[in-house]
């Protein structure tokens, strides 16, 4: 049981390049989340998927798109990377059961855009 | 919008001393307050949480207290050990909708000096 896995661990992009961050969970969770973490700002929600087939915007969705590929996988895409997207990205999942609030986090992807 | 403020941003204590981290939240309807520990290079991990119908919760050396009237909650770590050194995040469950989104504080870097 690996929990939440993310690939890649590190990535360097040039401004304007695109890439997809991958996330998968093996806990049979219904809900999945993408956050970014910047120094002094905690974690901010980019997008989330309450259940397979649905996605919604969080606090900071501009410049990102997501795909809930199936119940296990939730990807985050940067179509045209900008230096402001330099950050550490975390994926998280939750059972989706009413009243069960705990989110389980992956190890993160450190992205640098030059 | 919903906001969670966390203080202090850094905290240095001597091994064996206690550490206290405080958070305030803006949404009086929030009902779930988790604390996450993040070690270097890893994703956040839940260490304790509290719901709005409880005033205090303990788990060995850690405890969380909640004051709903004042809209603040605190993490208490007693008998600190060097392995407690990490970044700690508080969060509150926003209740604008039923998405179970968490609003995070900006984090506290705790250093336990041997």
pLDDT digits (tens, 9 = 90+) for A93-110: 998 887 788 999 999 999
Residues on chain A bordering chain B, Cβ-to-Cβ distance under 8 angstroms: 4, 31, 33, 40-45, 48, 50, 56, 58, 90, 92, 94, 101-108
Asked whether the predicted pLDDT for residue B86 surpasses 60, the reply is yes
Contact list in A for residue B46 (CB cut-off 8 A) is 102-104
Q: What length is written for chain B?
A: 114
Which residues are within 8 A (CB) of A104 and not within 5 positions of it... i.e. 6 or more apart? A3, A4, A25, A27, A29, A92, A93, A94, B46
Average pLDDT of the segment spanning B19-44 = 94
pLDDT digits (tens, 9 = 90+) for A8-51: 999 999 999 999 999 999 999 999 999 999 988 889 999 999 99
| Residue B23 in this model has a pLDDT that exceeds 60 | yes
Q: Which residues pair with B110 in a beta bridge?
A: B11, B86
> For the residues of B36-92, what is the DSSP string, one character each?
EEE-TTS--EEEEEEETT-SEEEETTEEEEEETTTTEEEEEE-S--GGG-EEEEEEE
pLDDT in tens, B88-109: 999 998 766 556 689 999 999 9
Given an 8 Å threshold on Cβ–Cβ distance, is A42 in contact with B32?
no
Of A48, A90, A108, the CB nearest to B99: A48
Do A44 and A36 contact (CB within 8 A), yes or no?
Answer: yes
CB B100 within 8 A of CB A99: no
pLDDT in tens, B60-73: 999 999 999 999 99
DSSP lists the bridge partners of residue B74 as B22, B65
- In percent, how much of chain B has pLDDT > 90? 79
pLDDT at A26: 96
Q: State the pLDDT at residue B53.
A: 84
CB B98 within 8 A of CB B32: no
**A83: helix, strand or coil:** helix
For A41, which of B99, B100, B106 is closest by C-beta distance?
A: B106
pLDDT band at A54; cut points 50, 70, 90: very high
State the CB neighbour count (10 A cutoff) for residue A3.
Answer: 14
**In the beta sheet, which residues pair with residue B11?**
B110
Element (H, E) at A90: strand A87-94
């Amino acid at each position: 049981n690996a929990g939440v896995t993310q690939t890649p661990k590190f990535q360097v992009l040039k401004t304007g390049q695109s890439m997809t961050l991958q996330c998968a969970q093996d806990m049979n969770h219904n809900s999945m989340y993408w956050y970014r973490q910047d120094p002094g700002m905690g974690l901010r929600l980019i997008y989330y998927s309450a259940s397979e087939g649905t996605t919604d915007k969080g606090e900071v969705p501009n410049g990102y798109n997501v795909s809930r590929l199936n119940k296990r996988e939730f990807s985050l895409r940067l179509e045209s990377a900008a230096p402001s997207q330099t950050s550490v990205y975390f994926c998280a999942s939750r059972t989706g059961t009413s009243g069960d609030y705990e989110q389980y986090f992956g190890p993160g992807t450190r992205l640098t855009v030059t | 919008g919903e906001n969670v403020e966390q203080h202090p941003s850094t905290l240095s204590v001597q091994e064996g001393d206690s550490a206290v981290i405080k958070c305030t939240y803006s949404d009086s309807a929030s009902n779930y307050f988790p604390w996450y520990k993040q070690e270097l290079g890893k994703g956040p991990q839940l260490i304790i949480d509290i719901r709005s119908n409880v005033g205090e919760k303990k788990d060995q050396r850690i405890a969380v207290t909640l004051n709903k009237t004042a809209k603040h909650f605190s993490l208490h770590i007693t008998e600190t050990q060097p392995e407690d050194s990490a970044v700690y995040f508080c969060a509150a469950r926003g209740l604008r909708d039923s998405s179970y989104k968490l609003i995070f504080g900006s984090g506290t870097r705790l250093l336990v000096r041997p």
